[in-house]
Amino acid sequence: MKISFFNDYIRESSRNAIRVREDESLNTPGILPKIPGCFYYLFGKPIETRGRYESLKDRENANKLYSQVKSGVESCIAYLLKKQEEDPYRRIFDRTVHRALHSPLHEIPTFEL
């Protein structure tokens, strides 16, 4: 609705739509493709759960393990979000230009851990 051409088109096409109330408006969803970016992932420290089945039946032990897993995931996400903001090759245009001018095709520019 923010793009005037589409806003006018939607208003015109919904003019004859059946309405229950006078103040209703018909909004047709639109889909615009997103330009692909980088996919950031990080494998955190493994958490050993083998042999802990019986101890995890206790709610307190299960909550401790949950807190450990949650903390690990949150720290990985925070780290990746920080690195994503600092990544000069995050956008496809910047990455493509850098690859065309500076790096072989088998190498992809990225940040250092």
pLDDT at 108: 65
The answer to whether 26 and 10 are in contact (CB under 8 A) is yes
* Alpha-carbon gap, residue 69 to 35, rounded angstroms: 32
Q: Tell me: pLDDT of 76 over 90.
A: yes
Task: Render pLDDT for 16-69 as a digit per residue (tens, 0 to 9).
Answer: 666 667 776 666 566 667 777 778 888 988 888 888 888 888 999 899 999 999
The answer to whether 14 and 25 are in contact (CB under 8 A) is yes
pLDDT at 75: 94
3-state secondary structure of 73: helix
Task: Render pLDDT for 77-100 as a digit per residue (tens, 0 to 9).
Answer: 999 999 888 888 778 787 778 777
What does pTM read for this prediction? 0.57
